[in-house]
Amino acid sequence: MRARLILIAYAVISVLGLMMMLARENVYVVGALVLGFLLLGHRELWSLVRYRRLPVIDERVRHNLTGAMRLTGGFFFLASIVLILLLRFDVFENTPTGLIISGLLVIVGVVYLISYHYYDRVCPNLGETAMRWLKICLITAGLALSTVALAIVLHNMVSAWFGFEDAFFFILGLLVAPAVLAASLLGSLAVFIKGLWASFRGVEPA
């Protein structure tokens, strides 16, 4: 009952939001919200179409939802800070604001979807070793990403202070760190897919 009320409230607020966005001609944001709704609510929508009822939200699903929302909230917070900084330095130049916001919303939606699948499908199917590898890969990716940003800043600072073109931070920021980032992201993706695949393979008939 509570889940149904939340869904109805969410639908009403979404429709009002969409009408407001349409009135302001923010078509991209409307598109992103509709896409997000379809991506996030595909299970509920499928259940409504197929069985004419909402799926049960049991304690496992509630736990997964809470974990996914916490991760997505953290990502949204960090991504908003980065976006504000990028906008402050006018990185996007003539890109329409609606397009930038819709991009952020779509990415946040995708992060939510990945997080939910991580808790729902991947996490229970991975052993201790695979989980350790996933953690190592994600931490390495985070460190590599930070190194890229830091190396760019340090390269500019060293070049400005000492008056010569710095090579160390340039190579670190533009070659080494991105390569490590790509490798660690590929590693995490491989472990993630392994867990997801195990879940699909392991489903038994009722």
Partner 1 sequence: MKTRMKEYRARLSLTQEKLAEIVGVRRETIIFLEKGKYNPSLKLAHSIARALEAGIEDIFVFDDD
| Strand runs labelled E in 2-116 | none
Q: Tell me which residues in 111-150 interact with partner 1 (CB under 8 A).
A: 120, 124-125
131 vs 134: CA distance, rounded Å: 5
Q: Which of 1, 59, 162, 165 binds partner 1 (CB under 8 A)?
A: 59
Q: Which of 60, 70, 132, 135 binds partner 1 (CB under 8 A)?
A: 60
Distance of closest approach, residue 56 Cβ to partner 1, in angstroms:
5
SS (H, E, C) 68-83: HHHHHHHHHHHHHHHH
Distance of closest approach, residue 122 Cβ to partner 1, in angstroms:
11
What residue spans of 89-176 are helical by DSSP H? 97-117, 123-125, 128-162, 168-171
User: Please, how many CA atoms are within 13 Å of residue 15, restricted to the half-sphere of its CB?
Assistant: 5
Total residue length of the chain: 206
For residue 53, state whether it binds partner 1 (rule: CB under 8 A): no
Q: How many residues bind partner 1 (CB under 8 A)?
A: 13
Query: Is the CB of 49 or the CB of 160 nearer to partner 1?
Result: 49
Distance of closest approach, residue 53 Cβ to partner 1, in angstroms:
12
Residue appearing with tokens 């009952």: 1
Q: Which of 2, 49, 58, 128 binds partner 1 (CB under 8 A)?
A: 58
Of the candidate spans 34-42, 56-64, 79-87, 137-145, the one that interacts with partner 1 by CB under 8 A turns out to be 56-64
Instruction: For residue 105, give the nearest of 44, 192, 5, 26 by alpha carbon.
Output: 26
Q: Which of 55, 73, 74, 96 binds partner 1 (CB under 8 A)?
A: 55
183 vs 189: CA distance, rounded Å: 10
Q: Binding residues for partner 1, per CB under 8 A? A: 55-56, 58-61, 120, 124-125, 202-204, 206
